[in-house]
């Protein structure tokens, strides 16, 4: 059972887990088969007077085309006992895998967007894409440009429309001291 919360209520946990294991970005896909990919980079803030989650997705990811087509996504923070599933979703592609089914992750309808939530998550954000742009190579310092092989991230700005949390989130989530 999850409760509706504010975006900022679990910001520390969201950023902490994104930095360590990663979060699952889930997007609706063709034939009713959604896909999840692991993200380690992203940012939460306020733009245009709205709470926004910016996801950075390389064009080579299967997720990239799904995001363009769906126009929305969900961000899912998985409990620490599902770290293997998070790693898996960051190591194979939805082009040739049904990652959710293969790792026992259950897609469930979201309230505000078409992309599903992952039921096993302890924190879920529903986001509608309101803007997108790309990393601009000409304005990158050389040490950051060196991270790329022409596959500059697309930035997808998601208006956070709803956030749902498991009230026991903190006891189910990894912390710095777990490392
Ligand atoms: C911990 C971790 C963090 C990652 N963060 C990102 C990210 O922020 N952006 C990105 O484009 N890929 C990231 N990746 C790589 C994708 O998750 C990976 O390429 C995935 O297989 C893409 O899945 P897809 O082809 O089904 O979209 C990350 C992988 C891991 C393991």
Q: What is the value of pTM for the model shown?
A: 0.97
Range of the domain at 25: 3-169
Pocket of ligand 1 (CB under 6 A): 22, 35, 37-41, 56-58, 61-63, 87, 90-95
**Residue 178 — very low, low, confident or very high, per pLDDT cuts 50/70/90?**
low
Could you tell me if residue 87 is inside a domain? yes
Alpha-carbon distance 72 to 117, whole Å?
A: 11
Could you tell me if residue 175 is inside a domain? no
- Residue range 45-83, pLDDT digits in tens: 999 999 999 999 999 999 999 999 999 999 999 999 999
Q: In the predicted model, what is the mean pLDDT of residues 29-36? A: 94
Q: In the predicted model, what is the mean pLDDT of residues 119-140? A: 97
Neighbouring C-beta atoms of residue 35, cutoff 10 Å: 26
Alpha-carbon distance 168 to 87, whole Å?
A: 23
Tell me, what CATH number does 138's domain have? 2.30.110.10
Can you read off the two tokens belonging to residue 138?
């000409």
Could you tell me if residue 91 is inside a domain? yes
Taking 60 as the threshold, does the pLDDT of residue 179 lie above it? no
Alpha-carbon distance 74 to 83, whole Å?
A: 18
Number of domains in the chain: 1
Could you tell me if residue 110 is inside a domain? yes
Taking 60 as the threshold, does the pLDDT of residue 176 lie above it? yes
Distance of CA 141 to the CA centre of its chain: 26
Residue among 14, 39, 69, 153 whose CB has most ligand 1 atoms within 8 A, to mutate: 39
Instruction: List 55's β-bridge partners, or say none.
Output: 42, 156
């Amino acid at each position: 059972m999850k409760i509706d919360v504010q975006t900022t209520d679990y910001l520390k946990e969201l950023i902490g887990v994104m930095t360590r294991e990663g979060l699952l970005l889930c997007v609706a896909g063709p034939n009713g088969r959604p896909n999840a990919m692991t993200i380690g980079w992203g940012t939460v803030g306020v733009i245009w007077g709205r709470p926004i989650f910016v996801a950075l997705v390389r064009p080579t990811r299967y997720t990239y085309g799904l995001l363009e087509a769906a126009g929305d996504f969900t961000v899912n923070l998985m409990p620490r006992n599902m770290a293997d599933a998070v790693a898996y979703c960051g190591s194979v592609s939805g082009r040739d895998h049904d990652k959710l089914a293969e790792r026992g992750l259950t897609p469930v309808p979201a309230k505000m967007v078409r992309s599903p939530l992952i039921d096993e998550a302890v924190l879920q954000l529903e986001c509608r894409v309101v803007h997108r742009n790309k990393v601009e190579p000409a304005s990158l310092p050389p040490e950051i440009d060196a991270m790329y092989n022409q596959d500059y991230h697309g930035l997808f700005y998601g208006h956070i429309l709803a956030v749902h949390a498991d009230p026991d989130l903190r006891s189910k989530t990894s912390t710095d001291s777990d490392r």
